[in-house]
Amino acid sequence: MGHIMQFATVQALQLAPFFISLVLYFSLVRKDPEGELWTTVLKCLPIVALMFYVLIKGFSLNKQFRRSQLILLGLVFSCGGDALLNVNLFPFGMISFGVAHIFYINAFGWHPLKWIIGVCLYVPVIIFVVFVRKYLDEILVIGVPIYCVLIITMLWRALARAVDTKSYLASFCALGAVLFVISDALIAVTMFLSVELPSPRLQIMITYYAAQFAIALSTADDGPLQPCKNKDK
């Protein structure tokens, strides 16, 4: 029990910059001003803090930390996507997030396949893409379906990993993947379908940051001899 408490305390200290950056963002950025450098920096700061966490919690370039390496790259491209979206470059931001999902997919792995989960996820996504297609311009009519496939594949692989490993961190990561999809779905309905939501920025960003937090935290047991892997402690 002592080792578990010590491990949790260390994790909390390492994640402190993330929580501080969240407070700064939500307290200082009152609306959604696009194209301003200071809001772009504050928007990206929580993701940079999560990148910092992945590096300091235990990281190496060897194969034992492959999941950490891939998730770190996913966070880098997510940060790029945040910056691009904030300066009103939506198609390029979507591409950057698409690349991030490719890294997350590979981090979660393809074994076991759990194809039934995939089928259950792809069917509603196909219906959604067909429905919103008429609202998309020439670039997004190609980009949105591709992005939807990538993010749903990311969710599929996160859920499959959680079902297979049955670990707390994997389950928490799967919840993060669900929140990521919810965050992007909120963007889609407000942007493409003109649905008016109460405080849409808050809903989108809270679910987004929670998603990235859960995904980054899933690297806590990456590498050899992590404390949370030892069942006897």
CA pair distance 169, 174, nearest whole angstrom:
9
Q: Which residues contact 161 (CB under 8 A, 6 or more apart)?
A: 108, 109, 170, 173, 174
Q: Is residue 233 part of a domain?
A: no
* 216 membership: H or E segment, kind and range: helix 200-217
Dump pLDDT digits (tens) for 98-141.
Answer: 999 999 999 999 999 999 999 999 999 999 999 999 999 888 99
Given a contact cutoff of 8 angstroms between Cβ atoms, the answer to whether 160 and 114 are in contact is yes
| Angstrom distance (rounded) from CA 216 to CA 53 | 8
User: Is 224 within the bounds of a domain?
Assistant: no
Query: What amino acid is encoded at 202 in this protein?
Result: L
In a domain, 172, yes or no: yes
2 found inside a domain: no
The answer to whether 30 and 55 have CB atoms below 8 angstroms apart is no
**Length in residues, the chain:** 233
Taking only the tens place, the pLDDT of each residue in 213-232 is 999 999 999 988 554 444 43
pLDDT (tens digit, 9 = 90+) per residue, 171-185?
999 999 999 999 999
pLDDT at site 225: 57
Q: Which amino acid is at 219?
A: T
What is the number of domains present in the chain?
A: 1
How large is the average pLDDT for residues 55-61?
Answer: 95
> What torsion do the CA atoms of 20, 24, 26, 29 make, to the nearest 10 degrees?
-160
- Are 45 and 53 in contact, with CB atoms under 8 Å apart? no
Checking if the pLDDT of 233 tops 70, the result is no
How much is the pLDDT for 232?
Answer: 38
Does residue 232 lie within any of the structural domains? no
> Residue 32's CB: how many other CB atoms inside 10 A?
12
The verdict on residue 38 lying in a domain is yes
pLDDT > 90: percent of the chain: 85
Cα separation, 20 vs 228, in Å, equals 25
CB 94 within 8 A of CB 143: yes
Q: Which domain holds residue 151?
A: 7-218
Tell me whether residue 52 is in a domain.
Answer: yes
Name the maximum alpha-carbon separation found in the chain: 58
CA distance linking residue 201 with residue 206, whole number of Å:
8
- Condensed to tens digits (0 to 9), the pLDDT of residues 26-36 reads 999 987 766 78
Residue 229 lies inside a defined structural domain of this protein: no
Token pair, residue 128, equals 């959604």
